[in-house]
Chain A
Amino acid sequence: MYRIVERRQLVPDTHLLVVEAPHVARKVQAGQFIILRPHDEGERIPLSVADWDRDAGTVTSVFLEAGASTMQLAKLQPGDTLPTYMGPLGTVAEVERVGTVVCCGGCYGIGALLPIVRAHKEAGNEVICILEAHSSWLLYWVDRHREVADQVHVVTSDGSAGDKGLSFDILQQRFDAGQPIDAIHAIGCTFMMERNSLAALAKQTPIRITLNPVMVDGTGMCGGCRCVVNGERKFACVDGPEFDGREVDWTALVERRKSYRAQEIASLQQYESRGFLGSSAAVETLGERDE
Chain B
Amino acid sequence: MSETARPKGGVDLQRRDMPTQDAAARVHNFEEVALGYTVELAMAEARRCLDCKRPNCVTGCPVSVNIPGFIRELAAGNLEGARAAIRETNLLPAVCGRVCPQEHQCEALCNLNKRGASVAIGRLERFVADWCALHEVVGAQTAPAEPVAASGKSVGIVGSGPAGLACASDLLKQGHAVTIYEALDEPGGVLIYGIPEFRLPKDIVRREIGEIRRMGAQIICDFLVGRTATLAELREEHDALFIATGAGLPWFLDIPGEDLVGVMSANEYLTRVNLLRAYDKRANTPVPKPRRVAVIGAGNVAMDAARTAKRLGAREVSIVYRRSRAEAPARHEELEHAEEEGIRFQFLTQPVEYLGNDEGRLTALRCRRMELGEPDERGRPRPVEVADSEFDIPVDLAILAIGQSPNPMIKDTTPEIEVSRRGTLVVEPETLATNLPGVFAGGDAVTGQATVILAMGAGRTAAAGIAAWLSQAT
Contacts and interface: CB of A to CB of B under 8 A. Distances in A.
B261 A219 contact: no
Given A216-B276, A219-B224, A219-B407, A42 B284 contact: yes
B248 A221 contact: yes
B395 to A, nearest CB: 13
**Size bin of chain B's contact surface:** 35 or more
B12 interface: no
B359 A261 contact: yes
B229 interface: yes
A81 interface: no
Nearest to A222: B268
Nearest to B264: A224
A90 B183 CA distance: 13
Contacts of B260: 256
Interface string A82-112: 0111111110000000000000000000000
Contact of A83 (B185, B250, B282): B185
A223 B222 contact: no
Contact of B184 (A219, A238, A288): A219
B326 to A, nearest CB: 30
Contacts of A291: 288-290, 396
Interface residues of A, number: 43
Given A88-B228, A220-B409, A252-B259, A69 B183 contact: no
Contacts of A85: 222
Given A83-B185, A256-B260, A222 B271 contact: yes
Nearest to A254: B360
B419 to A, nearest CB: 15
Nearest to B278: A43
A44 B284 CA distance: 10
B425 to A, nearest CB: 16
Interface in B163-188: 183-185
Contacts of B282: 41
Interface string B232-252: 000000000000000011101
A113 B280 CA distance: 37
B199 interface: no
B185 A256 contact: no
Contacts of A290: 289
A203 interface: no
A133 B242 CA distance: 49
Interface string B261-277: 10011011001100011
Contacts of A216: 268, 271-272, 276
A259 B268 CA distance: 19
A41 B229 CA distance: 28
B267 A222 contact: yes
B228 A217 contact: no
Given A83-B185, A222-B268, A256-B260, A27 B229 contact: yes
Contacts of A258: 358-360
A46 to B, nearest CB: 13
A262 to B, nearest CB: 9
A222 B270 CA distance: 9
B465 interface: no
B185 A220 contact: no
A89 B268 contact: no
A177 interface: no
A252 B184 CA distance: 30
A233 interface: yes
Given A87-B228, A221-B248, A233-B252, 19 more contacts: A23-B228, A42-B283, A43-B276, A43-B284, A68-B284, A86-B185, A217-B183, A220-B248, A220-B249, A221-B407, A222-B265, A228-B259, A238-B408, A255-B360, A256-B260, A259-B359, A289-B286, A291-B288, A291-B289
20 contacts: A23-B229, A41-B280, A42-B284, A44-B276, A89-B224, A90-B227, A216-B272, A219-B224, A219-B248, A221-B249, A222-B271, A223-B252, A238-B409, A238-B412, A252-B259, A256-B360, A258-B359, A259-B261, A261-B359, A291-B288
The 4 closest A-B pairs by CB, nearest first: A222-B268, A86-B222, A221-B248, A84-B185
